[in-house]
Amino acid sequence: MAGRKIHSFYKGIFSGDVLNFSKRSPFVREIMLERINPTRVILPMKMHYGVPCVPTVKEGDFVKAGQCVGLPDPKSFSCPVHTGVSGRVTAIKEITLPNGIKTPAVFIDNDMKKTRLESLKSRGNIELSDQQTIGVIRDAGICGMGGEGIPTYAKLNRARNYAVTDFLVNCLQSEPFSTCDLTAIVEYPDYVVSGACACARACGAKNVKFLISEGRKTERSALENSIKNASDIFKDLDLRIELFRERFPQGYYRLVAKALYGKELEASDTLEQSCSAVLFNCSTMLACWEALSDNIPMMNRILSVSGNESGGHNMLVPIGTPVSEVLSSSYDANKSESSVIWGNCLTGIKIDDPEETPIIKMTSVISIVRNNEIPTTPCIHCGLCSECCPMGLSPNIVYEMLVQGLTQKAAEEGARDCISCGSCSYICPAGIDLATSIAGFANQGKIIEVNSLLHNGEFIQSDEASLEASKVGQASLLEEFPDKEASEDKKDPDSIVLPFDGGKTV
Ligand code: SF4
Ligand code: SF4
């Protein structure tokens, strides 16, 4: 690989410092994938950007793993919800997620029998048009697993509408102590690569680029092998790996645009319009291939659990698993001197009740961090926060303006560009929590932005067509998707052939 270009953006927190956990933590070197079968699941009807689902089950119903338990209005911007366990619905009631979202949730007691829907099986070789591919992904309830939570079918539709040329797969997991995406690559590289190829075809992109840190040698070699195999099958696509310098936060679309295309994107710019590219998380690609090849909806995810009191490892958990069930049995929330964080230790949210807080589709890590009382002093004007802010802000100045209520001035200083990475708070020697204030202000603006996306129809222009791909309103959406044999006589002349190996059991 000598002489190969290494992409990078300016600033951020650099590799080699304390956050470069992969060189310090033994668990990352021997990535383990434990499978959890929780005693119950709590399935919120809203785990994604978009409108909440409506429960399709009622208290007392028996459900099988893979069954749809929440459906949105078919024309809305949303994702259906499926259960990853079989058992009895014990309650449907409103809960409040740690991020403040109030949502109805379906509570299911696991009967531990792992009874699955009969339809959850490998499809073998099937033919899907691009709209059918997007339709399966929509029905499988897949949304961005890297934390953005945008319904994947909607992003694919938008990429298709913009006729993007580059399909970017984010394999750049750089959040501290989070290795679930890297585990997905090592454990299921063929699924990640095939999912990316199928999705790229569905949105018409010809170049598939896997973005990965130069230091991730094991993951790179797994990807390289799978790309070699996939290149013989997806001959119409150009598959390649793009190396990035390891630093945090990597993978945010505006930083990727800067590093890969040398373009500075404004908050209102999109990758699709500015760079003719679309960016997806690698775990999302794994979920897409599970849906396309094995008919498995989004009912499980890989989760990193890290912290002194709970060890550090990766687990395959049903969505909705209470956080308490992924913590070590020796962990006692009442006696512990540590806090449980829903997310990574820089940007996550502290949770008070691990028993009633579920792992949702976007939860990639549960961190257990020691309660250290850091003494706070006034700003010493060291400038470190400005040096590390990847968005080029002067966090100390913006923070001061927000404290004084000068929100208009803070906005003019670029506060709305904050991506909530937490680097400024982490680096500040005065112990000032700059990120919470700045990110809180920036996120108010983002809620407005997302709402406008929901209403301008940009994401759902092609939805009418994809709705034809499957029937909506059944107990399981995927159940109704026709097998190859059943659909042979009504072949779409524009359909593409997706070669499925299948056979993976999750
Ligand atoms: S101001 Fe925002 S983007 Fe900049 S370092 Fe702080 S949290 Fe990150
Ligand atoms: S890092 Fe902290 S002490 Fe240094 S300039 Fe920023 S706010 Fe002030």
| Three-state SS annotation for 25-87 | CHHHHCCCEEECCCCEEEEECCCCCCCCCEECCCCCCEECECCEEEECCCCCCCCCEECCCCE
Least confidently predicted of 15-19, 286-290, 366-370: 15-19
Query: So what's the pLDDT on residue 346?
Result: 80
439 lines ligand 1 (CB under 6 A): yes
CA-closest residue to ligand 1 atom 6: 424
Ligand 2 geometric centre to CA of 284 (Å): 37
Higher pLDDT, 68 or 482: 68
Amino acid at 491: K
Ligand 2 geometric centre to CA of 431 (Å): 8
Atom of ligand 1 lying closest to residue 415 CA: 1
Q: List Cα–Cα distances, 95 to 46, 89, 197, 483, in angstroms.
A: 10, 16, 38, 38
Q: Tell me the whole-structure pTM to 2 decimals.
A: 0.85
Least confidently predicted of 246-250, 369-373, 447-451: 447-451
Least confidently predicted of 262-276, 304-318, 483-497: 483-497
pLDDT surpasses 60 at 21? no
Query: So what's the pLDDT on residue 312?
Result: 67
422 lines ligand 1 (CB under 6 A): yes
pLDDT surpasses 50 at 279? yes
Ligand 1 geometric centre to CA of 425 (Å): 8
Query: So what's the pLDDT on residue 80?
Result: 94
Query: So what's the pLDDT on residue 188?
Result: 93
Choose from 14-28, 327-341, 392-406, 472-486 the range with maximum mean pLDDT. 392-406
pLDDT grade for 375, boundaries at 50, 70 and 90: confident
Ligand 1 geometric centre to CA of 248 (Å): 11
CA-closest residue to ligand 2 atom 2: 428
CA-closest residue to ligand 2 atom 1: 428
382 lines ligand 2 (CB under 6 A): yes
Best residue among 421, 426, 444 to mutate for probing ligand 1's pocket (most ligand atoms within 8 Å of CB) is: 421
Average pLDDT, the chain: 82
380 lines ligand 2 (CB under 6 A): yes
CATH C-level class of 6-30+121-295: alpha beta
List the structure tokens of 234: 């997806």
Can you tell me the mean pLDDT for 425-436?
A: 90
Which sequence spans correspond to the domains of the chain? 6-30+121-295, 40-118+298-370, 384-456
The alpha carbon dihedral of 126, 130, 132, 136 has a sign of positive
CA–CA dist 150, 156 (Å, integer)? 10
440 lines ligand 2 (CB under 6 A): no
Query: So what's the pLDDT on residue 454?
Result: 45
Can you tell me the mean pLDDT for 74-84?
A: 88
Query: So what's the pLDDT on residue 332?
Result: 67
Ligand 1 geometric centre to CA of 452 (Å): 24
Q: Express each pLDDT in 116-164 by its tens digit.
A: 998 888 877 667 888 889 999 999 999 999 887 899 999 999 999 999 9
pLDDT surpasses 80 at 480? no
CA–CA dist 274, 494 (Å, integer)? 29
192 lines ligand 2 (CB under 6 A): no
Ligand 2 geometric centre to CA of 395 (Å): 8
CA–CA dist 329, 36 (Å, integer)? 13
Q: Treating both helix axes as pointing N-terminal to C-terminal, what angle do 180-187 and 189-203 enclose, rounded to 10 degrees? A: 100
384 lines ligand 2 (CB under 6 A): yes
- Give the number of whichever ligand sits closest to the CA of residue 391: 1
Nearest CA to 191 out of 502, 497, 484 is that of 502
Do residues 302 and 35 touch, judged by C-beta distance below 8 A?
no
Best residue among 11, 13, 376, 381 to mutate for probing ligand 2's pocket (most ligand atoms within 8 Å of CB) is: 381
Higher pLDDT, 9 or 256: 256
β-pair type (300-307, 365-370): parallel
Do residues 34 and 316 touch, judged by C-beta distance below 8 A?
yes
Higher pLDDT, 348 or 460: 348
The residues, any chain, with a CB within 8 Å of residue 164's CB and separated by 6 or more, are 203, 204, 205, 272, 276, 277, 278
Atom of ligand 2 lying closest to residue 386 CA: 6
CA-closest residue to ligand 1 atom 5: 389
Q: Express each pLDDT in 299-358 by its tens digit.
A: 999 998 887 655 567 889 999 999 999 886 656 666 677 888 898 878 888 898 999 999
Q: Express each pLDDT in 22-78 by its tens digit.
A: 333 444 434 456 788 999 999 999 998 888 999 999 999 999 999 999 998 877 888
The secondary structure element, H or E, covering residue 228 is helix 217-233
The residues, any chain, with a CB within 8 Å of residue 331's CB and separated by 6 or more, are 309, 310, 368
Atom of ligand 2 lying closest to residue 380 CA: 3
The secondary structure element, H or E, covering residue 317 is strand 311-318
Higher pLDDT, 372 or 247: 247
170 lines ligand 2 (CB under 6 A): no
Query: So what's the pLDDT on residue 330?
Result: 58
pLDDT surpasses 50 at 460? no
Query: So what's the pLDDT on residue 335?
Result: 66
CA–CA dist 349, 347 (Å, integer)? 7
Q: Express each pLDDT in 207-220 by its tens digit.
A: 999 999 888 888 99
β-pair type (300-307, 40-44): unpaired
Higher pLDDT, 276 or 457: 276
Query: So what's the pLDDT on residue 20?
Result: 40
Query: What number of helices (H) and strands (E) belong to the chain?
Result: 16, 22
Best residue among 374, 387, 432 to mutate for probing ligand 2's pocket (most ligand atoms within 8 Å of CB) is: 432
Query: So what's the pLDDT on residue 486?
Result: 37
Ligand 2 geometric centre to CA of 18 (Å): 19
Least confidently predicted of 103-107, 122-126, 481-485: 481-485
pLDDT surpasses 80 at 374? no
Ligand 1 geometric centre to CA of 447 (Å): 18
Instruction: Output Rg (C-alpha) for the chain, integer angstroms.
Output: 22
Do residues 2 and 214 touch, judged by C-beta distance below 8 A?
no
384 lines ligand 1 (CB under 6 A): no
Query: So what's the pLDDT on residue 215?
Result: 83
